[in-house]
Amino acid sequence: MDKNNFSRPIDIKRVKVTDPFWQKVQETVRREVIPYQWEALNDRVEGAEPSFCMHNFRAAARLNERRARPGFAEPQYTFRGFQTLPEDKDNPDPDRFYGFVFQDSDFYKWVEAAAYSLQNHPDPELEANVDGAIDIICAAQHESGYLDTYYILNGMDGAFTNLKDHHELYCMGHLIESAVAYYQATGKDKLLNAAKRYADYIDQCFGPEEGKCKGYPGHEIAEMALFRLYELTHEEKYLNLGNFFLDQRGAEPNYFLLEEKRRAIDEGRHEPENDPSPYAYYQAHKLVREQEEAVGHAVRAGYLYSGMADAARLTWDESMLGACERLWEDIIKKKLYITGGIGGTAVGEAFSYPYDLPNDTAYSESCAAISLAFFARRMLEISPKAEYADVMELAMYNTVLSGMALDGRSFFYVNPLEVNPAACKTDKRLEHVKPVRQKWFGCACCPPNIARITTSAAAYAFTEREDAVFIHLYMGAQLTASNGMKLTLESSVPWEGEAAVTVHTDEPVSCTLAFRLPGWCKKPAVAGPGGMVPDERDGYAYFTGIWRDGDKVELSFPMDVRLSAADPRVREDMGRAAVTRGPICYCLEQADNGENLHLLRVDAGALDKAVVSETEICGHKMRALELEGFRTELPPEGAPLYSDYAPLKESPAKLTLVPYYAWANRGEGEMSVWVRV
């Protein structure tokens, strides 16, 4: 590990995103998603599943008004799994907790997205709204500092008794992330102080000292959040607590097993076996430093690995970095969809076995792709290698964005690579796959997560260190580096591969500008000013020297239409290809190609005839592709199901493909990423 390589995300306050692609996404989030989510968190979206998120905070702060009317009956409630629901959804008990045990986190993610959005685009009305909501959250905080409405409302005796499944530490993680972001955006520290109080309380309860709890979060995120809080405050206790959680995970005796045994004794059940393997779902089956395979719930895994990468950087921990590199390798070599999604199976929303990447039953949760981008960015902060940025870009331009409709009003939780709406409606195995995006979810982790990563996209595009600025993603922007040098980046990515960076400086500045050479481009061309020659390392072109006002670096990344094949170990993709161009993964949709997409075959020998054309879906300009191919002719209706083998009868067909992220914006229909060759 070479500390001299470390870089940190640029402060997004010093970036103005001018990129037409990302500006449009960020404007959609600002105008549609953030206000819409606020309504959803307050249960005011008609036809959407109620969230009860703000209801719970108000209940914990005793701010909900009881409806005093004659004949008021105590409402009934049911506890289903981890979700508490009122019998009568229009008449929830004003003092009771509803929703999932982790419902608080939806609010925190919303605040975090609002904070980034405020940095990109000041909005006094939004800021006032957030401030008002923060007052409610702070009023709900227990005097000890504890802040989780589930136990504040259901009885504090239960606090920290079910770390495995009851997400209190997860909610703290999101609280910290939102509080730091809001403080950085506005300078206001009310939420930050609440977050610190909660973290301090947890620090009093958890740790290596005698008498303290030896547990750790069932759903990770507290680790990376505590490291972020440490980097803001420089208070070592937060660094130590984050490291404690990482080191305890999977340590013997397994804490989750102890917890289950305690519960079994209390409930008079048989104690569970001394077997830690079921805790692979929580990545708690062995010590994190010894983990070699990405397993279990994919979002948890991505958040854990992100925290591990932070720890490796902050404490120069080679063994932690080694684990991160092994886990990264396992994901990208064996468990990554071509769309940048992870988590192949709906069972446990989890990684499946190596090379099991089904297309129609895929889970590929939006949050999981986000967690992969988090992990990739943190690995880039340690070692600038293009492979990390390639995967980060893949996730961000494809699965992260497919999670949200182009108009920002509906969302996917699951991002399949192949959809037949009729199958989704009749086949129980596809129950999790929705052919159209939904307005909201009872478990609404994904929509606010998409909002927070897209509004902070610049922090993924650019990182810097004292003597260098790294351009990882070609996002048009004006930015000011920490050395005061201003840069204007113009880019036609993702639709074309031209980019240029111009330097603005009063005095000559000595530093390095490092440009990623995207893995999707076979012949990148870079040209610096006045004979400056780049030094190429790990997929980055480094220009080092004295920069003067007006100096320019021009980059050209020719984009071919490419057919990609999967490793033949991936059964599902055998004999099929995916079409990509630049960072964008394409798909076939029924809207362009009619039904029965499986009858189509692409002519791999006629790729040079591919036509790239401008198109527009829901007011979003993009490039569509037209490829030469064939369509299998169907025998007449009623033909025998089986007959003697004969080559398929095919007729020539044009295949139209649109970006995967833009699918399902034109009504319900079939979709497929992989096409026969």
- What the block records as the tokens of 636 is 């007449």
- Our CB check for Zn ion shows the closer of 202 and 453 to be 453
Burial class (CB in 10 A: 0-12, 13-18, 19+), 641: exposed
The DSSP element (H or E) to which 126 belongs, if any, is helix 124-140
Decide: 403 and 446 in contact? Cβ < 8 Å: yes
- Our CB check for Zn ion shows the closer of 150 and 412 to be 412
- Our CB check for Zn ion shows the closer of 306 and 590 to be 306
CA dist 3 and 316 (Å) reads: 8
Radius of gyration of the chain (CA): 26
CA dist 595 and 592 (Å) reads: 9
- Our CB check for Zn ion shows the closer of 445 and 673 to be 445
- Our CB check for Zn ion shows the closer of 145 and 302 to be 302
- Our CB check for Zn ion shows the closer of 12 and 445 to be 445
Who contacts 436 (Cβ-Cβ below 8 Å, separation ≥6)?
A: 410, 664, 667, 668
Please choose, out of 213-221, 351-359, 364-372, 661-669, the segment that lies near Zn ion by the rule CB under 5 A: 364-372
DSSP-H helix ranges across 583-675:
590-593
- Our CB check for Zn ion shows the closer of 185 and 446 to be 446
Residue with the CB atom nearest Zn ion in the bound state: 367
What is the closest distance, in whole angstroms, from the C-beta atom of residue 441 to Zn ion in the complex? 8
Q: Name the nearest CA neighbour of 615 among 665, 653, 652.
A: 665
Told to judge if 445 belongs to the known catalytic residues of this protein, a careful annotator would answer yes
113 binds Zn ion, rule: CB under 5 A: no
- Our CB check for Zn ion shows the closer of 365 and 390 to be 365
What is the closest distance, in whole angstroms, from the C-beta atom of residue 447 to Zn ion in the complex? 8
What is the closest distance, in whole angstroms, from the C-beta atom of residue 444 to Zn ion in the complex? 8
Q: Per CB under 5 A, which of residues 114..173 are in contact with Zn ion?
A: none
Catalytic pick from 367, 445, 446, 587? 445
DSSP-H helix ranges across 234-287:
236-248, 255-266
What is the closest distance, in whole angstroms, from the C-beta atom of residue 449 to Zn ion in the complex? 6
Q: Per CB under 5 A, which of residues 244..283 are in contact with Zn ion?
A: none
What is the closest distance, in whole angstroms, from the C-beta atom of residue 99 to Zn ion in the complex? 15
301 binds Zn ion, rule: CB under 5 A: no
The DSSP element (H or E) to which 196 belongs, if any, is helix 190-205
What is the closest distance, in whole angstroms, from the C-beta atom of residue 367 to Zn ion in the complex? 3
Q: Per CB under 5 A, which of residues 210..249 are in contact with Zn ion?
A: none
Tell me the CA distances in angstroms from 502 to 299, 488, 491, 588, one per residue in order.
38, 5, 12, 38
Who contacts 300 (Cβ-Cβ below 8 Å, separation ≥6)?
A: 219, 220, 281, 282, 283
Cis ω before 124 (30° cut-off from 0):
no
Please choose, out of 30-38, 109-117, 199-207, 362-370, the segment that lies near Zn ion by the rule CB under 5 A: 362-370
3-state SS class at 85: strand
Catalytic pick from 220, 293, 349, 381? 349
CA dist 13 and 261 (Å) reads: 49
DSSP string across 154-170: H-GGGTTS-TTTS-HHH
Burial class (CB in 10 A: 0-12, 13-18, 19+), 376: buried
- Our CB check for Zn ion shows the closer of 109 and 164 to be 109
Please choose, out of 79-87, 350-358, 360-368, 420-428, the segment that lies near Zn ion by the rule CB under 5 A: 360-368
What is the closest distance, in whole angstroms, from the C-beta atom of residue 646 to Zn ion in the complex? 47
Task: Provide the residue type at 674 as one letter.
Answer: W
Binding mask 407-446 for Zn ion (x = CB under 5 A): --------------------------------------xx
SS (H, E, C) 45-69: CCCCCCCCHHHHHHHHCCCCCCCCC
Please choose, out of 70-78, 96-104, 266-274, 367-375, the segment that lies near Zn ion by the rule CB under 5 A: 367-375
Count of residues engaged in binding Zn ion, rule: CB under 5 A: 4
CA dist 586 and 579 (Å) reads: 5
Told to judge if 138 belongs to the known catalytic residues of this protein, a careful annotator would answer no
- What the block records as the tokens of 64 is 């909900």
Q: Per CB under 5 A, which of residues 439..478 are in contact with Zn ion?
A: 445-446
- Our CB check for Zn ion shows the closer of 324 and 445 to be 445
CA dist 227 and 465 (Å) reads: 18
Q: Name the nearest CA neighbour of 562 among 621, 499, 627.
A: 627
Decide: 664 and 566 in contact? Cβ < 8 Å: no
367 binds Zn ion, rule: CB under 5 A: yes
CA 363 to chain centre: 14
Q: Which residues are catalytic?
A: 349, 445
Q: Which residues in this chain contact Zn ion in the complex, by CB under 5 A?
A: 365, 367, 445-446
